[in-house]
Amino acid sequence: MTGFTPESYTEASKNRDEFIPNHIDETLKADEIGILFMGEQYKIKFPAEVEVFYVSPPALDEIKRWLRDQEVQHPNKDNGEVDKDESV
């Protein structure tokens, strides 16, 4: 792929993440319903009046809940600190 750089990917992603909500805002009328299927890795900020539902398989939900619970139980792990229970 010619001309592909991390910067060009970042710029294309940013443009996409701005285009989608703008296009929805410009084209979807107040009394209309729309549906958009996409992966959750996108960082799209939808217009405030757009109601968003995230649908994922149960297994993915279980993983996310487990990760969230681990973060709550061990809040210092991300900054390099070690829990007293885990020190050797």
CA-CA distance, 58 to 34, in Å (whole number)? 24
CA 58 to chain CA centroid, Å, is: 17
Contact present, 41 and 17 (Cβ < 8 Å): no
Q: Is the pTM of this model over 0.85?
A: no
Structure confidence at residue 88 as a pLDDT band (50, 70, 90): very low
Mean pLDDT of the residues in the chain: 82
CA-CA distance, 47 to 23, in Å (whole number)? 10
What would the pLDDT profile of 9-35 be if each residue is shown by its tens digit?
A: 899 989 999 999 999 989 999 889 998
CA angle 15, 41, 31 (to 5 degrees): 70
77 secondary structure, DSSP code: G
